[in-house]
Amino acid sequence: MEGTRGHILQLMVMGILLGTAFSGYRAIQTPDYDDTSTPEILNPSWMATIPEIFSLSDVTMPGTHNTMALYGGSLAECNSWSLSLQLRAGIRFLDIRVRHVKGNLTIHHGISYQYAHFGDVLMDVVAFLREHPSETVLMRLREELSNTQDIYGAVVRYINEYAHWDLLWHSREMPTMGEARGKLIILQDFTGPDLGIRYNSLDIADDWKAATVGNKKRMFLTYSSGASILAHPNALAQLINPRLYEYLTGYVGQSKRFGIVTMDFPGAKLVQTIIGFNY
């Protein structure tokens, strides 16, 4: 037992040292990876030309894993662009984690507080959709750190206070692009009455090839991200994102369906490549 504890302690120290070493690393901006504060390319209205009759499940869209994880060191940070800039860069799937304490919903990645609350997220989404009504935003919403299993009432209160009820898509059914425009579609990863589409109704995988041959009526979601004590999100993204970019660029010029592709620290050209499969 003592040996096991010693080994765990060694791993923790190594993880801290890796994080410390990486924190002094110079910011990188490449086509597939970006840990700078500003995206190289903006695509704020890319959904405008998608036909109204298209099912949203047919749309290929970029997303970010742990969207608001901008603070906490290399073990916690998954992105470097603000939410507002992510949306303007073309990100349309958000992965939002809230800690529920006494009715308040603060944003966390594990124990790392992200200096924001759910109202801040809603205000950014409202402002973006007001400026770009041709777009839609999908948001996976789940509880993080706390475990009350009862965030529904707080979520509704925040929506009424910081957004408005008509902003939401109020159905479990998959909307068309025309129906989704200007809407926030909550992918509900918590219990309670329906606020949108149930997250577990999506086909969720770690293989971005699946959506090309999958059921057209289902929305596909692929995570190309990860973390461990010795493999921090930024380090993994620098390995995974180039492979993803290489794979996808092999299909450039083709109309392909990849569903939602969710990333850590995506580069703007990788985001743009994913968007390009809709045309």
β-strands 137-143, 184-188 pairing: parallel
Q: 49: exposed, middle or buried (C-beta count within 10 Å: 0-12, 13-18, 19+)?
A: exposed
Q: Across residues 204-220, what is the average pLDDT?
A: 69
β-strands 93-101, 104-109 pairing: antiparallel
Residue 255: strand, helix, or coil: coil
Ramachandran category for residue 102: left, alpha or beta (phi over 0 → left; psi -120 to 50 → alpha): left
pTM score, whole prediction:
0.89
How far apart are alpha carbons 114 and 71 in whole angstroms? Answer: 6
Residue 137: strand, helix, or coil: strand
* Helices 2-23 and 233-249: angle between axes, nearest 10 degrees: 70
The overall average pLDDT reported for the chain is 89
How far apart are alpha carbons 278 and 60 in whole angstroms? Answer: 6
Q: What is the pLDDT of residue 1?
A: 39
Domains of the chain: 29-276 (3.20.20.190)
Give the whole-number percent of the chain exceeding pLDDT 90.
80
Instruction: Convert the pLDDT of each residue in 218-263 to its tens digit.
Output: 999 999 876 555 679 999 999 999 999 999 999 998 888 999 999 9
pLDDT of 15 higher than 80: no
CA-CA distances (angstroms) from residue 30 to 35, 129, 205, 216? 9, 28, 26, 33
How far apart are alpha carbons 132 and 89 in whole angstroms? Answer: 13
Confidence of residue 3 (pLDDT cuts 50, 70, 90): very low
Q: Across residues 263-273, what is the average pLDDT?
A: 98
Q: What is the pLDDT of residue 10?
A: 41
Q: What is the pLDDT of residue 254?
A: 86
Residue 273: φ, ψ to 5° = -65, -45
Instruction: Convert the pLDDT of each residue in 43-101 to its tens digit.
Output: 999 999 999 999 999 999 999 999 999 999 999 999 999 999 999 999 999 999 999 99
Poorest-pLDDT segment among 32-36, 143-147, 202-206, 255-259: 202-206
pLDDT of 9 higher than 90: no
Instruction: Convert the pLDDT of each residue in 130-164 to its tens digit.
Output: 999 999 999 999 999 999 999 999 999 999 999 99
Q: What is the pLDDT of residue 211?
A: 60
Residue 266 and residue 34 in contact, taking contact as beta carbons nearer than 8 Å: yes
Instruction: Convert the pLDDT of each residue in 88-107 to its tens digit.
Output: 999 999 999 999 999 999 99
How far apart are alpha carbons 193 and 246 in whole angstroms? Answer: 42
Q: What is the pLDDT of residue 4?
A: 36
How far apart are alpha carbons 13 and 64 in whole angstroms? Answer: 29
